[in-house]
Structure 1
Amino acid sequence: MGRPLLKPIQEVDTRWNSTYAMLQRIHDLREPLGATLANLTNDITPFSAEEYESIQQCLLVLKPFHLATVELSEEQRVSGSKVIPMVKMLRHRTGRLCTTMANPLAQKLASNVQSTLNDKFAIVEKMTALSVATLVDPRYKEMGFCSANSSQAAVERLTRECANIIPPPPPSPPPPSSQESSEQEDNLWGLLDSHVGTQRGSNATASAIAEVQRYLKDPHLPRSEDPLKYWERHHLVFPHVSQIAMRYLCTPASSVPCERVFSKAGEIVSSRRNRLKPSTVEHILFLNKNLERKTSTQ
């Protein structure tokens, strides 16, 4: 038929997007599949036009999850801070599809997906690593949360962590002796000096609250920009929040990068190459990762 040679894709339970890939390939190959089944002697009934329409509508429901999975599986960009905003966007998109879908099968799929999405990710905004990572990502901050209570709890958590890393104030001087008291009474600047001494003992929590609030009021970063470069420019403006950001923004969104390393290691250490030293395997793996990074950047 003058078309690219493609094979049908089989759904696999352990591959997250395999259902979407299977249906997409069936829909793309509907004409070759129909022609092939018509010329073969078998008892397989080809899909009808209504069934292909249902497949197309179901693909609209599954496509946002396909895009989210691909984006959260990246290795070269910050990903952990995207989880909570991504769930928010998926809920919004699925909710709209539930009300606009005319196809009964696609509407039922959207409803089931929305219900499962709410059940599976009900506690995601309460997870410390993901909630703080979202908050210190200047692209999202409080805007990335669905719940205002979860957003406020994340702000309080960030404030506590900032207060813990702020160095304690210097110890207050001992009370003046009777001789020093008499000297202070004769000191013209005694009142001003006492106020300065009081200000030195400022509360670390108050300093953390002020810094966190200044950061939250700073304009959001466009979603296409790199949050790590933002903190490279602002680490002196928000010194303590930047330390928290460097601690949490390295959180990966999924285990995909680790699984890729395991798969590559399985290709390297095989029944025919089982005498490699662990150090040699490690060097080969890191060499492959460096080559992949250079290729992706080019």
Structure 2
Amino acid sequence: MKRPVMKLIQEVDTRWNSTFLMLQRLFKERQSVGAAVAMLKTDVRPLSSEDYETAAACLQLLAPFYQATVELSEEKRVSESKVIPMTKMLMLYLHDTKGKIGHNTTTLLGQNLVSLMQKRFDTTENQTALTLSTLLDPRFKTIGFYNQVQAQTSIKRLTAQCSQLMRCTPPDTLTEEQPSTSAQPAPENPSSTYLWDKLDRDASEARRARNATADATVEVQRYLTDPPLDRSEDPLVYWLKHQNVYPHLFQLAKLFYARQHRQFLASELSQNVEKL
């Protein structure tokens, strides 16, 4: 048939996307497969046109899952912040597509995929590491969330983390001191005695906590109101450029991105050891 020699791909339970790749190769080589089966003179029934239509419809439904796994596997910068947005886009795609393909098998497959994703990823937007990574990724922020109620909860969580960092970090350790929304402390009263020391310390701590919360709210809201980056841009470059604009969020971003980088290096090391 003057076609390049292409081997069929076998489905393997432990290989990601092996089902998709098997169906893709089978559909692409359907003419060659049909001719080969006819020449073998065996009892193997050749696939019908309806079978290939089913395969094509399944491929259309599974294509975004293949794209998602390949993209995450190839990611060398930050991957954790993509989990929630990818889950959202897959769910939206399934809801939008499963009823439009018009194939019974694919409709059932779509329903099963929705059910499994809801079961497996139901708590994804409740996990602190994933939600804060998504918010701190300037490409996604709140638009990456499927549930906007969870997005608002995550903003409160991020603000609390930022506030805690402000209370624990002296201003001169940051790249640039930010203007505070807090009031200036009252001057010391030279006539004060030990009678009021404990109360004064408690009041001072309460003022610092309140001021840190207010300052953190301002910094987080300023960051969130900035337009998101294009998805092709590098979030690490963004934070390097904005470390003086959002100094406390920059510190938090470093913590989350450094953790992901360590995980990536550990994964690469494990893969290299397995090859030895």
- TM class by shorter-chain length? 0.7 to 0.9
1:11-60 deviation line (CA, Å, top 9, x unaligned): 11111211101111111111111101100121111100010010000001
Matched residue, 1:288: none
Matched residue, 2:7: 7
User: Partners of 2:52 and 2:259 in 1: how far apart?
Assistant: 41
Task: State the identity %.
Answer: 45
Is 2:239 the partner of 1:231? yes
1:176 positional shift? 3.2
Matched residue, 1:94: 94
1:218 positional shift? 1.1
Q: Judging changes above 3 Å, is the alpha-carbon distance between structure 1 residues 265 and 137 closer, same or farther for their aligned structure 2 residues? A: same
1:259-278 paired onto structure 2 within 5 Å: 261-268=269-276
- Tell me the secondary structure at the aligned position of residue 203 of structure 1: helix
Matched residue, 2:131: 131
1:76 positional shift? 2.0
TM-score, normalization: structure 2? 0.83
User: Partners of 2:53 and 2:87 in 1: how far apart?
Assistant: 28
- Tell me the secondary structure at the aligned position of residue 98 of structure 2: helix
- Tell me the secondary structure at the aligned position of residue 230 of structure 1: helix
Is the 2:131–2:154 contact (alpha carbons within 8 Å) kept by the matching residues of 1? yes
Structure 1 runs not aligned, ≥5 long: 179-196, 269-298
- Greater C-alpha radius of gyration: 1
1:149-183 deviation line (CA, Å, top 9, x unaligned): 210111111111111111468986542329xxxxx
User: Partners of 1:104 and 1:156 in 2: how far apart?
Assistant: 44
Matched residue, 1:184: none
Is 2:213 the partner of 1:205? yes
Q: Which residue, 250, 253, 258 being the options, matches 1:245? A: 253
User: Partners of 1:23 and 1:252 in 2: how far apart?
Assistant: 34
Is the 1:81–1:133 contact (alpha carbons within 8 Å) kept by the matching residues of 2? yes
- Equivalent pairs counted in the alignment come to 247
Is the 2:135–2:142 contact (alpha carbons within 8 Å) kept by the matching residues of 1? yes
User: Partners of 2:233 and 2:9 in 1: how far apart?
Assistant: 35
Q: Judging changes above 3 Å, is the alpha-carbon distance between structure 1 residues 148 and 266 closer, same or farther for their aligned structure 2 residues? A: closer
1:6-25 paired onto structure 2 within 5 Å: 6-25=6-25
Is the 1:129–1:251 contact (alpha carbons within 8 Å) kept by the matching residues of 2? no
Is the 2:37–2:44 contact (alpha carbons within 8 Å) kept by the matching residues of 1? yes
User: Partners of 1:246 and 1:52 in 2: how far apart?
Assistant: 49
Matched residue, 2:177: none
Is the 2:61–2:98 contact (alpha carbons within 8 Å) kept by the matching residues of 1? no
Q: Judging changes above 3 Å, is the alpha-carbon distance between structure 1 residues 238 and 70 closer, same or farther for their aligned structure 2 residues? A: same
- Tell me the secondary structure at the aligned position of residue 8 of structure 1: coil
Q: Judging changes above 3 Å, is the alpha-carbon distance between structure 1 residues 43 and 165 closer, same or farther for their aligned structure 2 residues? A: same
Is the 1:73–1:257 contact (alpha carbons within 8 Å) kept by the matching residues of 2? no
Q: Judging changes above 3 Å, is the alpha-carbon distance between structure 1 residues 19 and 256 closer, same or farther for their aligned structure 2 residues? A: farther
1:260 positional shift? 5.2
User: Partners of 1:230 and 1:59 in 2: how far apart?
Assistant: 36
